[in-house]
Amino acid sequence: MRYFIQFSYNGKAYHGWQNQPNAITVQQVLEASFFTLLRQKIALTGAGRTDAGVHARQMFAHFEAPEITNVNDLVYKLNGLLPDDIAVQKIVEVPPNAHARFDATARTYEYWITPEKNPFYTHAAHYVKHPLAIEKMNAAAALLLAYEDFECFSKSNTDVYTYLCDIKVAEWTKKKDIFVFTIQADRFLRNMVRAIVGTLLDVGTGKSTLDDVKAIINSKDRRKAGTSVPAKALYLTKINYPDTIL
């Protein structure tokens, strides 16, 4: 039987989602908990990767296992076993060919900026002490929707087959005492969101212009884009699937 698991995590203590030989990851901890409860190795295939320190408010993975007669009970037991920074919301049976990564139609991220030093956001948002021109940052963000090749925002030396991404949403909003950048696309390149935010912050502080952003994208050169912002303020917030799956 094939199942999807929906879960969330605070990424501060983890070296990203995907298993690595010499670092603790979310996948490693989840798979170990499954093994403890089901007494068999469960291989989780995630909807994507998150880098070290990045958080996920909604993440999915698929796995295969003998029929689970009571998924609610398994969710309850997993949550009792997992550390406080990982939580499982649900496990659902899906069609045998459903794929957590390849069947996802959209992914949404948020990046949080705090405009003043705030001890409650030390590990949750990126503090920018310089005034930000949000209107200019939104104008720059809107430019992203007119492009599809984002090689300039991709981490160097990645083994991707294409740099094409279909960005549907890219906007800044003020939520209470923080600025939130929301971006949705069918797929993202490694480090892409953090590089985009760094570039938009350059616009917000007056370091770059809208024409500079256009030139950066057209250059396809990561060295011309802004500095990647810290991972601690990046959140994967939603993954969309066809109704035939979820």
Number of other CB atoms surrounding residue 149 within 10 Å: 14
Judge whether 75 and 39 are in contact, CB under 8 Å: no
Judge whether 244 and 119 are in contact, CB under 8 Å: no
Encoding tokens for residue 232?
A: 């601690």
Judge whether 58 and 239 are in contact, CB under 8 Å: yes
Distance CA 108, CA 182 (A): 7
Distance CA 112, CA 33 (A): 31
Residues that are catalytic: 51
Q: For residue 97, what are the contacts with CB-CB under 8 A and spacing of at least 6?
A: 2
